[in-house]
Structure 1
Amino acid sequence: MHVNKKIAVVGSGLVGTLLAIYLKKLGHEVHVLDRSKDIRTIDFSGRSINLAMSTRGWRALENIGIADQVHAIGIPMNKRAIHIANQELKYQPYGMNSESIFSISRGGLNKLLIDIAEKEGVHFHFETRIWDVELATATLFTGESEFGAWQALQYDMVFGADGAFSRIRHRMQRQNRFNYSQHFLNTGYKELHIPADANGSHQLDKNSFHIWPRGEFMLIALPNLDGSFTCTLFMPFEGAISFEQLTNVQQVATFFETYFPDTKNLIPNLTHDFFKNPTSSLVTMQCYPWVYQDKIALIGDAAHAIVPFYGQGMNAGFEDVTVLAELIAQHNGDWQTILETYQQARKPNADAIAELSYRNHTEMSTKTADESFLLQKKIEQHFAKKYPEKWLPLYDRVTFSHDSYLSALQIGDKQNYIMQQVLQIPNIDAIWDSEIVEQTIISLLEK
């Protein structure tokens, strides 16, 4: 039986705020608590990677009727633009049917979702620090400092949506048999900025995801509505070519002139932004269980933080919300079953997209400039268009379908094995679209 509950969502980020909207629409009393200031009152810049909204994310927004509002603040990108040193610009289309991912400002989307949530009646409590949680009673303890006086806040349920370094998960880690791991890449990232031109227009093709692949490091740029691009430099923290080697203005200028010469006139405030903006880290975090009885649940990055190289972090978190909402409808107030089924359904898929995201780092930074890889993609696209019932490329399966991440990983591994065999066919670069190649793929698929 459905009973309205008093629910706390800890974390006012994208996933937490979206979850709050869903829960409020179901009739619950919802409070969102966040240690930070209201993002609508601060300048959100300097350490962000633009979002790439795709099919899974759109479904979560469509289900509650707010997709159109988000479409209005996004820019469709239907291809990659590959900036290879000393070569002409190359384009790689994304979807089999001209699908697009959408570049959306993280801060802009977060502000919009909070506005929508407040209109629905969600209560926000910013600058509220959570120091501890009593799991069995869903009680949060807040206060000015960890060692000062605390106030107890009683709820029927608590959702931890407070990110990769979640305070709610930190408390759950003190349980017996709670598994937890985190892995930091040696690669960090720094935000840079390409402004609009004098007419307010984009200086690069605005419907492309721009990549400058350079092996161990790369630069990317995603468009914004104001004509600018948010750029991100990914590079090792230490090593021969790394952030630790760039300590002064001349070193940064020389580095960009050497490796990204076509950006010289695009990023006028390069050195200022480089030293103003922080160098941030990238972490994969995995844990289990995600829930405690019918009282506590982790969601989004608090349960499964991943690196950003597949553009699925937000999309995966939004899919958490979609699955949870479906289970709420199926199990009509039986929160014990809802939460247990939720974690069983989502955990394998969270692990799968974590693995795919980790692998895609290599694809973006190295393989997008590799002729053999480009030939493989061309063969896959040709075969998939001719035999759509037999082949859906991995990227399309992850980005433009609702197939599970786990099945995408498994099928993608089989497809890659097949393609490695195909690439060994003599003279493959000349006969890539021949019947011989097609029949080879079909025979390997049937094994």
Structure 2
Amino acid sequence: MPKVVIAGAGLVGSLNACFFAKRGWDVEVYEFREDIRTMEHVQGRSINLALSFRGKAALEYVGLKDYITEQGVAMYARMVHEPDGVTTNQQPYGHPGQHIVSINRRHLNEVMITQAEKFPTVKFFFEHKLRDTRIAEGQLIMERLNDKEKIVVTGDLLCGCDGAYSALRRSLMTYPRFNFSQEYIEHGYVELNILPKNNQFAIEPNVFHLWPRGSFCLIALANIDKTFTVTLFAPFNTFEEHLYDDTSVVQFFTKHFPDALQLIGSTELKATFNRVRPSPLVSVKCAPHSFGGRFLLLGDAAHAMVPFFGQGMNCGFEDCLVLSETLDACNNDISKSPRLELYLHKF
């Protein structure tokens, strides 16, 4: 059977493993971090995800749509909170019954890895760092972190699914005619939480909560454990000028988000801002997405975007679906058919 090597065990990497396993391929997934299912804290972006039709279509292809959507909370509308802390209005999504699904990033990633491991042809290798790429030989040079041993990994297809700061993409930067750009926007984000009230959701769970305030905003999405993941997006100068100590943080939320402040609690609010700093948001574009007939970039490694569109994960999942359909069209003949190379330029 053909063998695919996947760099990155995030959402796109683990779903891609399911796609290839379903095709009967041997699959090896290499991840820099330790297994997130064993970690107390996971570094990196943790903003809640909104699973839409594009992402659901990819999950359905490998028989995971119903299982995955059950891990989230359906959202049928956007609920806009006004500055007075009392007035709200709802804006339905699409036609009656249509909805997107709020799902926690870490929880979804853990579920996807577990699902991929159920296929006997899938193997995960955690704590392996990509050190180099040999395009002509179709090889990745990995370093096993526990003993620093270098490992040469070869596959019929090698996929970079290792995120916006992709090590595989970075190793390809000297490839002729490879174009790459990245842009950090002026906004950062800080994540907060709303805890359950009397073991129930503290506010309506089946909507996307939004507090729009011009150049900054607050959002809240429900989790199946009855908590809400809350994220403040604001320009970095807003954080520096208006959210710099306990007093200013509470004053800022009292003025702009009084109802959210009651739900979060001033003690938790101050503790969070004392513990964390705003995280940056980056947009990445590159072309092509395929190299030497064997290497591919998918998901954020190929096209990272800021979270306001709510489509980063959905685009990455759709990449997996489009790639599978392309392999169907060329009957898995990667080396001889030009269709894979030409089609993937359009991702």
**Where on the TM-score scale, by shorter chain, does this alignment land: which range?**
over 0.9
Matches within 5 A, 1:38-57: 38-44=35-41, 47-57=45-55
Structure 1: distance between partners of 2:294 and 2:144: 25
The Cα shift of 1:45 comes to: 6.0
Aligned residue number for residue 189 of structure 1 = 189
1:21 aligns with one of 9, 18, 35: 18
Structure 2: distance between partners of 1:228 and 1:68: 22
Matched, 1:155 2:155: yes
Asked if structure 1 preserves the Cα contact closer than 8 Å seen for 2:181 and 2:286, the reply is: yes
Deviates more, 1:222-231 or 1:257-266: 257-266
The Cα shift of 1:156 comes to: 2.3
Deviates more, 1:285-294 or 1:329-338: 329-338
Residues 149 and 126 (structure 1), Cα distance of their counterparts in 2 relative to 1, 3 Å cut? closer
The Cα shift of 1:277 comes to: 3.3
Aligned residue number for residue 169 of structure 2 = 169
- Structure 1: state its 5+ residue gaps: 347-447
Structure 2: distance between partners of 1:281 and 1:39: 22
Matches within 5 A, 1:267-416: 267-268=264-265, 269-335=268-334, 336-346=337-347
Structure 1: distance between partners of 2:75 and 2:133: 42
Aligned residue number for residue 136 of structure 1 = 136
Q: TM-score scaled by structure 2?
A: 0.93
Asked if structure 2 preserves the Cα contact closer than 8 Å seen for 1:193 and 1:273, the reply is: no
Asked if structure 2 preserves the Cα contact closer than 8 Å seen for 1:104 and 1:224, the reply is: yes
Structure 2: distance between partners of 1:278 and 1:338: 46
Specify the code of the residue in structure 2 equivalent to 1:203: A
The Cα shift of 1:304 comes to: 0.3
Q: Percent identity?
A: 41
The Cα shift of 1:265 comes to: 1.9
Matches within 5 A, 1:214-253: 214-238=213-237, 241-243=238-240, 245-253=242-250
**Higher relative contact order at CA 8 Å, sep ≥6: structure 1 or structure 2?**
2
> CA-atom RMSD, angstroms?
1.6
Asked if structure 2 preserves the Cα contact closer than 8 Å seen for 1:9 and 1:160, the reply is: yes
Asked if structure 1 preserves the Cα contact closer than 8 Å seen for 2:330 and 2:340, the reply is: no
Residues 10 and 218 (structure 1), Cα distance of their counterparts in 2 relative to 1, 3 Å cut? same
Structure 2: distance between partners of 1:228 and 1:108: 13
Residues 242 and 278 (structure 1), Cα distance of their counterparts in 2 relative to 1, 3 Å cut? closer
Structure 2: distance between partners of 1:173 and 1:123: 28
1:9-57: CA deviation from partner (whole Å, max 9, x where unpaired)? 0000001110011101111110000100101111356841111001011
Specify the code of the residue in structure 2 equivalent to 1:337: P
How many residue pairs are counted as aligned between the two chains? Answer: 338
Asked if structure 1 preserves the Cα contact closer than 8 Å seen for 2:193 and 2:230, the reply is: yes
Give the 3-state SS of the residue equivalent to 2:263 in structure 1: coil
Q: TM-score scaled by structure 1?
A: 0.73
Higher fraction of helix: 1
Greater gyration radius: 1
Structure 2: distance between partners of 1:153 and 1:223: 41
Aligned residue number for residue 9 of structure 1 = 6
The Cα shift of 1:149 comes to: 6.0
Specify the code of the residue in structure 2 equivalent to 1:168: L
Structure 2: distance between partners of 1:223 and 1:149: 43
Asked if structure 2 preserves the Cα contact closer than 8 Å seen for 1:324 and 1:338, the reply is: no
Structure 1: distance between partners of 2:343 and 2:16: 14
1:116-153: CA deviation from partner (whole Å, max 9, x where unpaired)? 111112100000011111012221112267xx763322
Higher fraction of strand: 2
The Cα shift of 1:254 comes to: 1.2
Structure 2: distance between partners of 1:50 and 1:149: 36
